[in-house]
Every structure is written in C-alpha cells, then in structure tokens.
Structure 1
Amino acid sequence: MSRSSNPVRAWHAWAVAAWLLCCAGVALGETRDYRVETVADGLDHPWSLAFLPDGRMLVTERPGRLRVIERDDANALVVRPAPVDGLPPVLAMGQAGLFDVMVDPGFADTGLLYLSFAHGTPDANHLRVVRARFDGTRLHAVTPIFTSQPAKQAGQHFGGRLALLGDGTLVTAVGDGNLERTDAQRLHTHLGKTIRVQTDGRVPRDNPFVGREGALPEIYSSGHRNPQAMVRVGDVLYSNEHGAKGGDELNAIVAGANYGWPITTDGVDYTGARVTPYRSWPGITDPLTHWTPSIAPSGMAWYDAALFPQWRGSLFVSALAERSVRRVPMAGGTPGTQQILFRELGERIRDVRTGPDGALYLLTDSADGRVLRVVPAR
C-alpha cells in the first residue's frame, strides 16, 4: 500500500490540518446543512449583485455591462438577453471595469441606483461613482457624484464598493492604485481612502478633514491598500481589503482614522520583501482580524435572517484565492471562530449577498460566471 493510500496516515494528516485550523480560529465547514442552486450562468466576470423591490436582480459584469435577472413566462429566473442601455463608458482592462451596483432605499418611488466603475484611459484613469434612474430597461439622468483625484496609471487597485451610512450619506472605498503606495497616507489624494459624500455629490460639512489645508474634503478614512467590500451593521461600517502576500484585513471604519497601509501590515510584498517592519504603530487603527496567508477577500454581507438561524449575527466574506466564503461570527464587534464554507464549489467567489428571502447569494468570478443561491438542505 502506498503512503498516499494508507487510510491511517490520511486520517492523521486530516486531523493535524483540522487542529491547526482550529488553533488559528477557523472551523471547518464540512457538515453541509445547505444546498447550492444555480440561479443564472453565462455571466462574464460578474462583480456585484443587487435586489430590486419587485424580485428582479441586477448584476454587474466587469467588462462593462449591467444585467437583469428576472422571471420568464414559466416563472424561471433567467438573465435578460440584452444588457441595460444607457451605461456610461467603462474602462475595462486588468482589474478595471464596472464594479458595484447599489439600489437606493427609495427605489420603488425614485428608481434611483448607484454604480461605480473605472473611468478614463489606461494612462489617466479614476474611480467614478454615478447616480442614475432605472426604468427597467434603460438608465436615465446618469450623473457623476464622485470621481477620484488625481488621475492614475494602469488598471489596478480601484476599490469601488459602495454603502450608505445611517444618515443617508454614501461611502465608497478607493484603492491605492498600486503604483505609489504611500499615497494612502497623503491627504491631497483620494487614493487609499474611504470617501464620504451626499448622494448628490456634495461634501458633508462634518467630514473629518473639511477645512484642513492640503486635504481633500471627501476623505473619511485613510491608510487603505485595496478595499474590496463594505457593509453597515447598525452604526458600524465594516470593510475588508487585500493585503499583499498576506495581511488581508477586516476593519471597522471610523471617521478620521488611519488604517496603516503601508506603515503597518501583517503581510509582505509579493517578492517576499518586507513592506514595513511594523504590524502596529501609535495612532494607527489595527484591523479586527487579518488573514495571513492571503485569502483575497472580495465581497461581504451581514447575515441576520431566519432561514439559517445558526448563521445569524455573522459577517460573510467571499474569497478569491481561497475559493471559499468565510463566516465570521461577531459578538460586540469582535470576530469569533471563523468557518470556511463552499470550498466544494472550487470557484473563486467574487461577491456574497443576503437576499430578501433569507438565502445567501454568491457570484463566481470567471468568464462563465454564475449566480448561486444557498438554501437549507431540507
């Protein structure tokens, strides 16, 4: 019998791996009390998912298309063949493209939604956020409400996730651009920052750097590398972001706080070189938790629905490199023992959302991407 086929040795290896994961605060998600259904397929690198009040869904495709998922005459969910008309030009290359879609809370009356995307040219590009009215087929009155400054080169580290705070202001996360990482610490640029504006683009008077000489007034927090998700839970705004080789972070965003990049990080550069000798520093807000080695976090959702009572009170963080979703139970703002879910799919997971039906929805990141729905096994 070969070494690899020895069942005793195989069990021992599994037990050791499980013990190491549990010691690291991770629980294996082997007991599958759920099933995964395909809602839609054939999507080109879907990036974000949003739910409309009438049961339809909106999905962004990174190359620059907004798709509608709706029920056909047989009451089956299908992707409408034609994409939504009226989208502004999107720069699609590398990591650049169409990013988040967020439905306004008053959509049933206003038809308003928000989109983020890469705007400009390969040599001079920005993260742009627009507001538009959607009539079911086409976007109207597309209005830019934020464009990152200054222009940057290349197609990396845009950020782009959107969220609304409790006061109705809009926040978006902007990456550092990956060319001059120290811009994340400089207040004359939007790169590496969380931005807060009114939904019409005006700057709130109580933003933390309003009136500070040399600082852009839209800045809400600083020191971010490549933020990938934001979700508000009560009064707390949670964000995750890519580190380099390790040092992925889960943060609670506070107005005016500095989250350290590149002064502090738990990761190293892709070459193996140290970015900095510091994991913590006075005046820097440490992450709630970090993932080292990197899992490449992407989307994030808060789950507090009745369909899966055992998952209530948890953040769900989708992961590209780990091809999983991390369930992070939260108690008093503190992360508990994590559970690794959905690795059996073997898919890079770009986004995770809690649906109005209490199910969990996943987007797979590929040229033949899918929308998946997670429901109880029975």
Structure 2
Amino acid sequence: MRLLIAEKFPEDKLAAFRELGLQTTYQPDLTLEQLTRAVADADILVVRGREVPAEVIDAGKHLALIIRAGAGVNTIDVAAASRRGIFVANCPGKNAVAVAELTMGLLLAIDRRIPQNTADLRAHQWNKKEYSKADGLKGKVFGIVGMGQIGEAVARRARAFEMPVIAWSRSLTPLRAEELGIGRCETVRELCQKADVVSVHLAQTAETKKLFNAEMFAAMKPGAIFLNTSRGGVVDQKALIDAMKTRGLRAGLDVFDPEPAGGKEAFADEILDLPGLVGTHHIGASTEQAQSAIADEAVRIVKCFMTTGEAPNCVNIEPNPPVKCHLVVRHYDKVGVLAAVLDKLRRANINVEGMNNTVFQGAKAAVATIQLGDKPTAELVAEIAAMHDMVIKVEAKNVD
C-alpha cells in the first residue's frame, strides 16, 4: 500500500509507517495542484489542517482512507469521500491537554493583561499603577460549551483555579455532570446568561455554524470573557466585534473566521485592532507532546486498517442506514453459504445495508444478521430456508 503524508509530521514517527511495509511518501509542502497529482497513486492520505476538497479526493483513484492528524474534519470534503466509499478518520482527544492549556493561558492573559504588560516593558515603560487593576479568577463562573475530551480537560483546570464550572453539551447527562463536579445547563443561552467566562469546545458542523451569534453575545454578562480554541466558524465574528465594542466583552481567540490558510502571511481583520482581544495563531494543538500523541494515533489507525480493513475513529459511517428488516440466518460454516443467500437477495432486488457474521465454537455453525433495505417476502424467506444443506434456520425481523 502507498501512503502520502501531505503536511508536517514528526519525522521520528515516519519510520513507524515504513515498518508496517507501506511505501511512504512525505511531501509536506505541496500546493493544491501538486497534491491533486500526488494523491493519484496513494491508498492512504494523512493531513493535518490543510484543505482536502472534492477535486483531490476524486483524483485519488486508489484512495481508501484519509486521516486527519487532529480532531476537526471540517477542512476535508467528507461528503465527497463518502460518495466514493473512502474512510475519513481523525485523532480525537490526543490534543486535549494542549488545547486546554492554551485556553487557560488565554484566560490568564486577558484577566492580567499580560500582552499589554509585556508591550509596555518592551517600550521601556513602567506602569504598575495601571496593571495592578485585575478582576482575578477565583469564584468566577466558568462556562464550557462542548464537553468532549477537551472540554473535560478544561473543566479540570478551571476547577483547579477554584472556579465553579457549568457546562452544556448534547451528551452531558445529569449523572455525568455530577461525576465531574460541575453544573449542567439545559441550553447554550442559559450558560451564556450565568457564566463570567464562556469557553467553546465544539466541532464545526451545520448545526454549530455561527452558533455564537448576536443573540448569544447579548445574553452574556457585560464585560464577560469569551474564549474560542475550537473552530472560527462556530462564531459570527461580526456579532462578536459588535459585542466587544458595545458591551465590553473580552475575547481570547486561537481561531478566526476567516483566517489565513498558510503558515505565514499577512492577516488583516477588524477584530485584531480591538483592545479587548488576546489572540494566538491557531496553535491550540501545536505542542510537541500533542503532535507526538497524534502521530502515534495516526500510526495505530493505519495499522488497524491494514490488518482488518476497518478504520478506528471513522467519522463518515452512516449511523442510521435505511434498514427495514434484519434477516437472521443460522447456517453451516462452510464455503458458499452467504454467497448463495446474498445471490437470492440480489435476484429479489433487495439491497444489503450491513451484515455481521458470528461463528460458534468449533467453527461448524454460524449466524449472520443481514440488514436489508426492504422487507423480504415470505416466499423469499422460505426459499432461503429451503437450502437445507447450507441453512439451519431463517427469521425476518422487521424494524419498527
């Protein structure tokens, strides 16, 4: 198999791919046009934050797996990959500590005005009188939107600063909130109303696009601190600018919308000129510790894919395929049985949406559960059951 790594990757980890027997090509500085050509012979593509549009995916005639060496996959055309049966996998949670550390760093920098302190010192100015004014963090309510691994890592650090933590997340149950020692909000708006600090840790999806809009910022307390180390697209940046101007909101941002695609270039945006902003250059996951952990996870995904054909952390598996019936076939474990069953389903024009086959001890018998896109007729079920030299019993279980 051929592997193409199209972005910066820890070079000490490249040997691990080659030890798997992969023909590994490391080309971290390809242009989009060059990537489109280079991917033509690749079976596996590894990227970090660069765009992988449909044109690149369509050019990868042998492409079977795309790995995002990081968490968010919004830079990859997942729909285009799904149309061609290409796995898209990521490395979630491996950057959680790095992002959480930066989140707290941004918070401290805003509260104690560390960048302004440093700028005055570099200008040979001493202004202890001005910079002695700070709110402090102890007792301030820290609100977290998105309680995945990063959100939980941030919660632990906020509690270490003796800040009460509240959170909203689709997956956060009352029991889990109690286990974490945090409060649970029913809505994002409720959290915005209660928190002194709002920290965002969400993937960018159609549902979260510009979730933080004028309404959300209006719900926040005057002078509150807004932190975003997730994706720029979850914020309506113009609405944030207005809130910073009119309501005194302060913002710590590692991501922007839009933001430069390259590693180094000019960047001009109105938000950069606001005194309430402390910003970094989309570096949340950029620590040596995080990159090493992400690289190890990418190697693990590739190894599993090579040995089993499955991709851990796959993000584009349909969670709710159009299944109308489960056909349960107990059968003898020998060559040609499932092929014969599938042939009868094909002749009946019934699509298979999924299948699992479990072999019993001794490898004499097995049971196959076949997920069907249509309900088989009683005659078809009887026809399959009539293959007595192959089939022990057949049941059709309709899906409600």
Q: What TM-score, normalized by structure 1, do the two folds share?
A: 0.25
Structure showing greater radius of gyration is 2
Q: Which has the higher contact order (CA 8 A, sep 6+)?
A: 1
- Considering fraction of residues, name the structure with more strand: 1
Q: What TM-score, normalized by structure 2, do the two folds share?
A: 0.24
